[in-house]
Structure 1
Amino acid sequence: MTPEPPEPDATGPDPDPEARGVRLVRVLLVLTVVSGLIDAVSFLGLRHIFTANMTGNVLVIGFAAAGVPGFSVPHSVTSLGCFLAGAVAGGRVIHAVGSHRLWARTTLTVESALLAAAAVVAFAAPDEASGTVYSVIALTAFALGMRTATVRKLGVADLPTTVLTMTLTGLASESHAGGGHGTRFRRRAAAVAALFAGALLGAWLVIHHGLGPPLLLAALLSGALALTASGRP
Structure 2
Amino acid sequence: MTTAAPPRDPEARGVRLVAVLLALMLVSGLIDAVSYLGLGHVFTANMTGNLVILGFAAAGTPGFSVPHSATSLAAFMLGAAVGGRVAARFGAGSRRRWTRVILAVEAVLLAGSAAVAFAGSGATAAEYALIGLTAFAMGLRNANVRKLGVPDLTATTVLTTTLTGLVSESRLGDGSSDRTPRRAAAIAALVAGAVLGAWLIPHHGPGLPLAVAAAVSGVLALVASGRE
TM score, norm. by length of structure 1: 0.88
Q: Deviations over 1:142-197 (max 9, x none)?
A: 00000000110011121221111011100110011112144201000000100000
Name the residue aligned to 2:74: 81
CA contact (8 A) 2:99 2:226 kept: no
Q: Match for residue 88 of structure 2?
A: 95
- Name the structure 2 match of 1:179: 174
Do residues 205 (structure 1) and 205 (structure 2) align? no
Alpha-carbon distance in 1 for matches of 2:127, 2:178: 42
- Structure-1 separation of matches of 2:135 and 2:183: 25
Letter of the 1:203 partner, please give it.
Answer: A
Identity %: 65
**Quick one: distance in 1 between partners of 2:214 and 2:114?**
8
Partner residue of 2:151 out of 142, 157, 161: 157
- 1:219 shift after superposition: 0.2
Larger mean CA deviation between 180-189 and 108-117 belongs to 180-189
Partner Cα separation in structure 1 for residue 171 and residue 210 of structure 2 = 39
Match of 2:62 in 1: 69
Is 1:136 the counterpart of 2:145? The answer is: no
Aligned: 1:44 with 2:41 = no
Paired residues of 2:43 and 2:49 also in contact (CA < 8 A): yes
- Residue 161 (structure 2) aligns with: 166
Q: Give the residue type in structure 2 aligned to 1:47.
A: G
> What displacement does 1:226 show?
0.6
Letter in 1 for 2:107: S
Please name the residue that 2:7 is paired with.
none
CA–CA separation in structure 1 for the residues paired with 2:13 and 2:62? 47
Instruction: After TM superposition, give the deviation of residue 103 of structure 1 in Å.
Output: 2.2
Structure 2: 5+ residue stretches without partners: 1-10
The secondary structure found in structure 1 opposite 2:62 is coil
| Change in 2 beyond 3 A, CA 1:46/1:210 | same
Separation in 2 of the partners of 1:44 and 1:29? 23
Among 115, 128, 132, the alignment partner of 1:120 is 115
Question: What is the CA deviation profile of residues 74-124 of structure 1, one whole-angstrom value per residue up to 9, with x for unaligned ones?
Answer: 010000000010011111111122322222211111100000000000001
The CA deviation at 1:67 is 0.2
Separation of aligned partners in 2, 1:29 and 1:78: 27
- The change in CA–CA distance for 1:232 and 1:195 in structure 2 (over 3 A counts) is closer
Aligned to 2:101: 106
Matched residues, number: 215
CA–CA separation in structure 1 for the residues paired with 2:80 and 2:210: 20
Contact 2:22 2:185 in 1 (8 A): yes
Larger Rg, first or second structure (1 or 2): 2
Kindly provide the amino acid, as one letter, of the partner of residue 119 in structure 1. A
Normalised by the size of structure 2, how large is the TM-score? 0.90
2:214 alignment counterpart:
219
- Relative to structure 1, the CA distance from residue 46 to residue 176 in structure 2 (aligned partners, 3 Å threshold; closer, same or farther) is same
Instruction: Output the aligned Cα RMSD.
Output: 1.6
The separation in 2 between residues aligned to 1:96 and 1:61, in whole angstroms, is 33
Q: Which runs of 4+ in 1 moved over 3 A?
A: 230-233
